[in-house]
Amino acid sequence: MSAASREALFRALFAPRGIALYGASGDAAKNTARPQRYLRKHGYTGLVAPINRSRREVLGVAAYPSLAEAPGEIDQAFIMVPPADVPAACDECFARRVPVVTIFTDGFGETGAAGREIEARLVARARAAGVRLLGPNSIGLISTTPPTALSVNAVLELERLPVGPLGVVSQSGSLIGAFLSRGAARGIGFSRLVSVGNEADLSVAELLELLVDDAQTQAILLFLETLREPQRIARAAQRAFEAGKPVIAYKLGRSSAGIELAKSHTGAIAGDDRAVDAFLRACGVLRVHSFEALIETAHLVIGQRPPARRRVAMMTTTGGGAALVADPIGAAGVELVAPPADVAEKIRALGVRVGDSPLIDLTLAGARGNVYGPVLEALLASDHCDAVVAAVGSSGQFHPQVAIEPILRARRSFPAKALAVFIAPEAQASLELLAKNSVAAFRTPESCADALAAFFAWRAPHQPPTIDDARIPRLRAALASAGPLRAEALFNALGVPQTPTQWLREAGEPIGCPFPVAIKIASPDIAHKTEVDGVELNLKTARSAAAAAKRLLARVSAARPDATIDGVVAATMQSGLGEAILGYRVDPQVGPLVLVGAGGTLAELYRDVSLRPAPLALEDARAMIAEVRGFAPLAGYRNAPRGDLAALAEAIVAFSALAAVPEVREAEINPLIVKAEGQGVVGVDALLVLGDGAPRDAIANAPS
Amino acid sequence: MSAASREALFRALFAPRGIALYGASGDAAKNTARPQRYLRKHGYTGLVAPINRSRREVLGVAAYPSLAEAPGEIDQAFIMVPPADVPAACDECFARRVPVVTIFTDGFGETGAAGREIEARLVARARAAGVRLLGPNSIGLISTTPPTALSVNAVLELERLPVGPLGVVSQSGSLIGAFLSRGAARGIGFSRLVSVGNEADLSVAELLELLVDDAQTQAILLFLETLREPQRIARAAQRAFEAGKPVIAYKLGRSSAGIELAKSHTGAIAGDDRAVDAFLRACGVLRVHSFEALIETAHLVIGQRPPARRRVAMMTTTGGGAALVADPIGAAGVELVAPPADVAEKIRALGVRVGDSPLIDLTLAGARGNVYGPVLEALLASDHCDAVVAAVGSSGQFHPQVAIEPILRARRSFPAKALAVFIAPEAQASLELLAKNSVAAFRTPESCADALAAFFAWRAPHQPPTIDDARIPRLRAALASAGPLRAEALFNALGVPQTPTQWLREAGEPIGCPFPVAIKIASPDIAHKTEVDGVELNLKTARSAAAAAKRLLARVSAARPDATIDGVVAATMQSGLGEAILGYRVDPQVGPLVLVGAGGTLAELYRDVSLRPAPLALEDARAMIAEVRGFAPLAGYRNAPRGDLAALAEAIVAFSALAAVPEVREAEINPLIVKAEGQGVVGVDALLVLGDGAPRDAIANAPS
């Protein structure tokens, strides 16, 4: 989309010259009467045109039997009619080419296949007319400057909209109310809030793009129930990062992983919420895990860049209150640091005891404004820390001159460093005062810790390496190979070494792979070879291997007379210092993803894996290996002999190039044997699943 | 203590007839002027007697040069003088036998050895005089009925003390302010709040005892930084449970574990916060992990008993808001349940769609009071669930008749079932209304989930089995045995089978243990045998063992000429299906503790252990085994052959009887070999540490 048409869309959404209301009730008690009332209440000055076949007036405003008869420039229509009447209302809008149609009505895509079909038809007709849809099932949108409060959400009973720099895109409509209401009570203000509903047309990704270009938005909050269009979100997040607008996300789904048991390892583990975590981090998005933090974190990070280190200085007038924050941030791996000698000296000169504990406790010095301010300024000015936490005790409620006002002054003098304030008592007024002055203020210690953890986990958007196009024909050729060794061929072509294998159509064919070998049945119809006794291991001679192949073919044919049997596969046995699992999957939420984990049953029990969006560079692969606890023995833990983790890192990078072959939906090497340092890695069990309904192409060359 | 003297102590603490103030300032701007002002402000009607050598009057109240000259019945003294003057002030109180002396002044035990000594002397003199001390370093105490607001905490600037059924005992003084202030803003009221300071005399445990007997206290909240007197806490918690007064604790220290690296496995892992978790659970205490939940949980659990199952029904007018709660409670293993057919029918009859999702969403039915109330009542009345969560959307703020008032009515009609209310928007007035009517109302979804998780993790206090006294002489005899096999003797005496071992004073002595054996150096001075090459394994004959013993003695003598060498130990080699670690430790915080974990490096990396206070019954041991993921293969995971987990459970129980031998500080069997089902377990490496400064008695009969 061109910048001009993006700008036009932005105006139609957030600053429409005129709004048509379909289904606006004349009964003020009804929800559908609200948008008309709320628009005026909150200062919308454009034309409001209720469309009503049977009335000439709705709540004192002229109504029109059809959109065609409404005067003026209508930039947006808001549709609240019953589901059956939605298509006709839309058609009127399409005919007039109203730029944006927002559909509040629900009962479409979210109800099943029939609803999805109606929804798809609406979108197709909208596209043909050059009209954009928001929803269906959107509770509407709210823009504060100029004011456009176009929603049925009862939160608009609020006296005044809280105006500020936060843009919100939410997949939950009702939570738009929680954002506004909690923000208003706390002095936290918004630029735009959008409920995207079913995202039939306008998506989270596209709204994110629009808010990046919005001069009134300085940080963007996402409330997500699912992820769609991951690549587009990644691109938009990258632009937001470049524009210095932090994107902060809350994503539901941390507990669904335990419920959905996918079949293969990769499936099960990558369906994990950690895939979302890995994706959002790679996008440079800050992820928080509490709703309060979603609202409270922005002022901590606006104007900041991802910190290189994880060091927090903490000062307080309440030891207990500070500990409430320190405990969870410590658990998140953030380091509390004591000031260096020169800073400590400055602080001691103010009568504050600076001891062994990194916490600077002002209680003994007497909590006074002429102490609090200078101590905070000394910390904000010092480069021994990457963020400062100021915890405030009872004075936060009744004596703002002790800590709150000094915090505001210190912030103005030293605006650069990240600063978080936690107030232990109930202190609405102080929280509001801080927020209105762009200081991040937290009502609960857990939210403060959540925000700090997100800040310290924040990374610049990941720059995926480019995959050399010249490699692709070779990969495609491997994919096109027939027979049961396609997965091995592809992984070898990628550059991930596979154990020598050979397809034997008949039991007696001579074996070229080094001995000892495993012999396994080759059949597209048999996923679990061990269940049909279809594997024999550790065959040391050609003769014993041939005998095993013969036995095995007889046995499996008898057990599964229906199955197509393509002979057997011989594969050289391998041993090493450890095992890894290497997985790849096109995740339905976040796209291509690489997984690496320690192999073996225990590692599987502990779900000890690391995930990243593919493709990857070598440094990413190294970081993944460092995240897997089960690799510690291979890294020399307790003097164990070192494994070839450098080769493992190279294998991860090579495997991640599967992202260049879109027909691969899923791939796995399990186990990938890790040999001693300098001796490499080698895969002994390969699995490949192709997309587009292609049959699962599962080949294992070790017991599976 | 007798019931009568406990009652007298209670009265002197919370309803003193007169209070002497040491160090009360005449300058109203000073902190030390506050208690006198706050006492009157909040309605204290007894005598207040400032003690001041140089003034006859403090802020309009008659002052006395010494306590001896003060008139009336002084039941408590509150001491704010500088540290150096505290002993003299206390002596006056001891002379007059003032029942309770509360010391606000700090700078004692918390500052180091010198301070601890002064503190100990104060306590000794108080005991001699029959006087009880609160503090030092206590911010004071607050009682609401009759009102006694005896504290310097600025929170007492509050207009009115929130009166209610919650008793608070806090190791943080400043957080007393956070409790009161947050409670007051939320309609959550308190009976008593006590800051215990250094616990030199009056401890958390004893205050817990007092609050159990307090008619005005219905639930007891503990804010803990450490645990002292675990056995006494356990007994008090047991009494609280019997009295139907839930005890809810927040305990700091979740992140210190990673910092403090103890030396032995048991030390390192039991120093873990999970020891605290295990202890509190065994006490029947509900543990929450957020400060908000500490305040908000009480009304969820007052009147309840620990639920047998973990099923939650959830209804809402905000899908997003409900999901915010459902996601973290799902992660905590709580099950969301859909209503059974008959209840679903009732709900459908109200026009509510009841679908596949367990969440009952009223949005489509229109959020109306005549729907919300009956749906909630249907859920509260049904026994398909153990708790109900009602999530409220924007109506919670502006339209209480939609959900809040129906919730209050439903609660009155169906008071039995646990009910939690979460309000998505900012809705202070509704939260207050609910709390004032004893309905658990939560301001954040995370706090609501924290409370529910604590409720479902709640268990009746653990009843430790009695250890047969007749066994103790045998254990003591084993402990008294000389030589390097004392640990093995003790563990055998306990009934945990150890591999056959033999102490060889000389290399040539005949070996009676079955072969193959390991030969290991026996020396009290050598903790890590492998570092001096002091172990040879898998010796199959008497001859090879004798040769190994000779080599080993020569080698170690050369390497460590300073070490006392007691010959060698021969031990039969063992093998089995898996390895466990079995540990015992008198934990400084929670007392005797048993640890069981999967053996091997990976399990150690994953800290895969279960902990429980000792001694244990068989069912506890079984529950511990079930908690250790690494035992899954031994339980038949993926068709692995089954290990003798029944024998492991018996070994855990037997080992836990170490609690009957107080001189044992630490003990460990690592590895304990788990053989195939029916074949038992056997220890092959025993470690024993005795207390009271006794030297570490570390004997290993396998490489260590």
SS (H, E, C) A559-600: HCCCCCCCCEEEEECCCCCEEEEEEEEEECCCEEEEEEEECC
Q: What is the largest CA-CA distance in chain B?
A: 96
Residue bearing tokens 């954002």: A179
Global ipTM: 0.93
* Chain A residues within 8 A of B444 when measuring between CB atoms: 290-292, 444, 447
Distance CA B267, CA B665 (A): 11
Please indicate whether, in this complex, the C-beta atoms of B394 and A106 are within 8 angstroms of each other: no
Which comes out higher in pLDDT, residue B700 or A165? A165
Q: Are strands A609-613 and A440-442 parallel, antiparallel or unpaired?
A: unpaired
* Chain B residues within 8 A of A363 when measuring between CB atoms: 174
User: Burial of B225 by CB count in 10 Å (0-12 exposed, 13-18 middle, 19+ buried)?
Assistant: middle
Report the candidate in B407, B386, B380 with the shortest Cα–Cα distance to residue B452.
B386
Strand partners, A360: A315
Residues A508-541 have pLDDT tens digits of 899 999 999 999 999 988 877 877 889 999 999 9
Distance CA A47, CA A67 (A): 13
> A612 is written with which tokens?
């990243």
> What pTM does this model have?
0.94
> A131 is written with which tokens?
């009209």
User: Burial of B11 by CB count in 10 Å (0-12 exposed, 13-18 middle, 19+ buried)?
Assistant: middle
Residue B88: which residues within 8 A CB-CB, separation 6 or more? none
* Chain A residues within 8 A of B106 when measuring between CB atoms: 364
User: How many Cα atoms are found within 13 Å in the side-chain-facing hemisphere of B601?
Assistant: 16
How far is the alpha carbon of A81 from chain B, nearest alpha carbon, in Å?
14
Residue B412: which residues within 8 A CB-CB, separation 6 or more? none
Report the candidate in B76, B10, B464 with the shortest Cα–Cα distance to residue B208.
B10
Please indicate whether, in this complex, the C-beta atoms of A427 and B394 are within 8 angstroms of each other: no
Distance CA B641, CA A395 (A): 64
Which residue in the set A171, A424, A447 is minimally distant from B177, CB to CB?
A424
Angle at A610 between CA A605 and CA A611, to 5 degrees: 120
> B75 is written with which tokens?
């039941």
User: Burial of A66 by CB count in 10 Å (0-12 exposed, 13-18 middle, 19+ buried)?
Assistant: middle
Is any Cβ of chain A less than 8 angstroms from the Cβ of B154? yes
Angle at B375 between CA B369 and CA B377, to 5 degrees: 100
Q: Are strands B501-504 and B517-521 parallel, antiparallel or unpaired?
A: unpaired
> A691 is written with which tokens?
């997309």
% of chain A residues with pLDDT over 70: 95
Best of B153, B310, B423, B444 to disrupt the A interface (most A CBs within 10 Å) is B444
Report the candidate in B224, B333, B331, B328 with the shortest Cα–Cα distance to residue B280.
B224
DSSP SS3 for A43: coil
Strand partners, B568: B504, B521
Measured CA distances, A356 to A326, A347, A420, B364 (Å): 16, 14, 23, 59
Please indicate whether, in this complex, the C-beta atoms of A252 and B292 are within 8 angstroms of each other: no
Is residue B319 within 8 A of residue B342, CB to CB? The reply is no
Is any Cβ of chain B less than 8 angstroms from the Cβ of A319? yes
Distance CA B536, CA B467 (A): 39
Residue B434: which residues within 8 A CB-CB, separation 6 or more? B187, B404, B407, B408, B421, B440, B441
Distance CA B133, CA B130 (A): 10
Please indicate whether, in this complex, the C-beta atoms of A425 and B182 are within 8 angstroms of each other: yes
Please indicate whether, in this complex, the C-beta atoms of A633 and B601 are within 8 angstroms of each other: yes
Whether residue A302 has pLDDT greater than 90 = yes
Is any Cβ of chain A less than 8 angstroms from the Cβ of B330? yes
Please indicate whether, in this complex, the C-beta atoms of A320 and B363 are within 8 angstroms of each other: no
Measured CA distances, A603 to A576, B19, B304 (Å): 17, 63, 40
> A214 is written with which tokens?
């919005």
Whether residue A262 has pLDDT greater than 50 = no
Q: What is the mean pLDDT of chain A?
A: 92
Please indicate whether, in this complex, the C-beta atoms of B328 and A366 are within 8 angstroms of each other: no
Distance CA A102, CA A80 (A): 9
Distance CA B627, CA B601 (A): 18
Q: What is the largest CA-CA distance in chain A?
A: 96
Please indicate whether, in this complex, the C-beta atoms of A291 and B444 are within 8 angstroms of each other: yes
- pLDDT of amino acid A637: 82
How far is the alpha carbon of A530 from chain B, nearest alpha carbon, in Å?
12
Measured CA distances, B226 to A390, B172, B192 (Å): 24, 11, 21
Is any Cβ of chain A less than 8 angstroms from the Cβ of B306? no
Please indicate whether, in this complex, the C-beta atoms of B290 and A445 are within 8 angstroms of each other: yes
Which residue in the set B154, B171, B632 is minimally distant from A398, CB to CB?
B154
Is residue B239 within 8 A of residue B277, CB to CB? The reply is no
Residues A390-434 have pLDDT tens digits of 999 988 888 888 899 999 999 999 999 999 999 999 999 999 999
Is any Cβ of chain A less than 8 angstroms from the Cβ of B337? no
HEC profile for A219-254? Answer: EEEEEECCCCCHHHHHHHHHHHHHCCCCEEEEECCC
- pLDDT of amino acid B267: 33
Which residue in the set B182, B186, B424 is minimally distant from A177, CB to CB?
B424
> A573 is written with which tokens?
């046995």
For A:174-193, CB contacts with B below 8 A are 174-175, 177-178, 180-182, 184-186
Is residue A481 within 8 A of residue A501, CB to CB? The reply is no
Residue bearing tokens 């130990």: B569
Is any Cβ of chain A less than 8 angstroms from the Cβ of B82? no
Which residue in the set B255, B319, B427 is minimally distant from A174, CB to CB?
B319
Give the dihedral of Cα atoms A641, A645, A646, A649; nearest 10 deg: 180
DSSP SS3 for B641: coil
Residues A24-57 have pLDDT tens digits of 999 988 999 999 999 999 999 999 999 998 899 9
Q: Are strands A47-51 and A18-22 parallel, antiparallel or unpaired?
A: parallel
HEC profile for A65-119? Answer: CCHHHCCCCCCEEEECCCHHHHHHHHHHHHHHCCCEEEECCCCCHHHCHHHHHHH
Please indicate whether, in this complex, the C-beta atoms of B630 and A605 are within 8 angstroms of each other: yes
Is residue A288 within 8 A of residue A249, CB to CB? The reply is yes
How far is the alpha carbon of A476 from chain B, nearest alpha carbon, in Å?
36
Distance CA A566, CA A569 (A): 9
Whether residue A270 has pLDDT greater than 70 = no
* Chain B residues within 8 A of A170 when measuring between CB atoms: 320
Tell me how many residue pairs between chain A and chain B have CB atoms under 8 A apart.
230
- Its sign, for the CA torsion A273, A278, A280, A285, is positive
Is residue B441 within 8 A of residue B423, CB to CB? The reply is yes
Q: Where are the beta strands (DSSP E) in B275-381?
A: 286-288, 311-316, 335-336, 359-361
Is any Cβ of chain B less than 8 angstroms from the Cβ of A459? no
Among all residues of chain A, which has the CA nearest to that of B178? A425
> A338 is written with which tokens?
């004591």
Is any Cβ of chain A less than 8 angstroms from the Cβ of B633? yes
How far is the alpha carbon of A7 from chain B, nearest alpha carbon, in Å?
30
Distance CA B115, CA A556 (A): 81
Whether residue A95 has pLDDT greater than 50 = yes
Q: Are strands A686-690 and A681-683 parallel, antiparallel or unpaired?
A: unpaired
Confidence grade of residue A214 (pLDDT, cut at 50, 70, 90):
very high
| Secondary structure letter of residue B262 according to DSSP | -
Report the candidate in A606, A605, A607, A599 with the shortest Cα–Cα distance to residue A633.
A599
The pLDDT averaged over each successive group of 10 residues in chain B (704 residues) is 90 98 93 96 97 93 96 97 97 98 94 93 97 97 97 94 98 95 97 97 98 98 93 97 98 59 33 86 97 97 96 92 91 90 94 85 74 96 97 90 94 97 96 97 97 97 91 92 91 97 92 96 84 90 95 93 93 96 92 92 85 96 96 88 97 97 94 97 93 44 34
Confidence grade of residue A365 (pLDDT, cut at 50, 70, 90):
low
